[in-house]
Amino acid sequence: MRKWIGFPHREGTISRQAHADLPAEGIYEREVGRSGFFGPATHLHHKHPPTGWSAWEGPLKPRAFDLNALPKDVAAPWSAPLVLHNSQCQLRIWTCSQAMTQLYRNGDGDDMLFIHAGSGELFCDYGHLSYRDGDYILIPRSTNWRIEPADTTTMLLIEASNGAYQLPDKGIVGPHAIFDEAMLDVPAIDDAFKAQQTEDEWQVVIKRHNVLSTVTYPFNPLDAIGWHGTVAVARINWRDIRPLMSHRYHLPPSAHSTFVADGFVICTFVPRPIESDPGALKVPFYHNNDDYDEVIFYHAGDFFSRDNIKPGMLTFHPAGFTHGPHPKAFAKAMSEPKKFTDEVAVMIDSRSALEQGPGLPAVEWTGYVDSWKPKT
């Protein structure tokens, strides 16, 4: 990998290094970038916080939703509340407390399950896999699967519609950075899997073009005796992720990419040391991500760039306006910087605009947009 050397234009009073050594106290940096955080960018320096609005009208605005208040414990994954969606991605939140009595198969794309709470057993075409909170479970398209919760399980279901999940290109840091592929666990043809291979009648519910069909078998279709190959259900926990870090430079969210699909990327924010260099920015920088909608699901910990956000909540920042940390979080980071973050969050950046699911307005924190207003 290589690129030609560029000589960006400089105008006025500037910091020569992005996200560090701002030219004066009370100066606020804003990044204007294209193609997420991968394309060309300009860094402007402002006298006022770029998110310091005093009023906001119209439908385009930062939004926050308490997914804890959505309907719980529905019987099937595709009956779960639709949170956000477009032609390439469907995001649902699902709570399951009882063993699934049918198998499910998604003919529309790969599924990613992020286990927000709970533990239990997953059975699928490839065998048996235990799960716990914090697990990502990748289920390839058209895989038969079901779960048996040991305790009530809440998960994000992120469908890569008409697409597949892959790993990001890790570039100059090499293929073993962030996590080694050897950390991915796959199901086993073990005693627990063999024990459920009965001759009882089972049904498989198949989703294709968002329409459900049901196929009945006089036996359990999860009857594999072995397999070999490179397509399978896979699991990794956020605790296995070793984030990229720099003590002198605040890395962009793209440095924390975990999985990529057609039209969107999943990033994982996990605990890490905070930048120690005196001149380095220590909170997410103000930025215009004008080509992507940004979604963050808050899983656990203290969310150091946000205020009044708790686990189980989700923020949605569509493209088209400046994003950035809350004023209180920004001020605290500048005056009393923490030495370590303890937050865990899942970010989804979508290239195409996301639409809200029908139940989302009822669980919106409508005061979220006002939380950036200067306190008087």
Task: Tell me the C-alpha distance between 125 and 66, whole Å.
Answer: 34
- Tokens, residue 227: 């397999």
290 is in an annotated binding site: no
Q: State yes or no: is 250 an active-site residue.
A: yes
Q: Which residue has the tokens 């910087």?
A: 337
Q: Which of 304, 306, 312, 299 is nearest to 340 (CA)?
A: 304
DSSP letter string, 21-71: --SSTT-EEEEEESTTTTS-EEEEEESS-TT--S---SS-S-EEEEGGGS-
- List beta partners, residue 202: 217
46 is in an annotated binding site: no
Angle CA 238–244–250, to nearest 5: 115
Q: Which of 49, 41, 45 is nearest to 12 (CA)?
A: 45
> Which residue out of 19, 85, 116, 250 is catalytically annotated?
250
323 is in an annotated binding site: yes
Task: Tell me the C-alpha distance between 183 and 167, whole Å.
Answer: 13
In sequence order, what are the residues at sequence separation of 6 or more whose Cβ sits closer than 8 angstroms to the Cβ of residue 139?
106, 110, 111, 112, 113, 124, 145, 233
CB-count exposure of residue 373 (10 Å: 0-12, 13-18, 19+): middle
- Tokens, residue 312: 């189980």
Could you list the residues known to form a binding site for homogentisate, using ranges.
Answer: 323
Could you list the residues known to form a binding site for Fe cation, using ranges.
Answer: 287, 293, 323
What is the set of active-site residues?
250
Could you list the residues known to form a binding site, using ranges.
Answer: 287, 293, 323
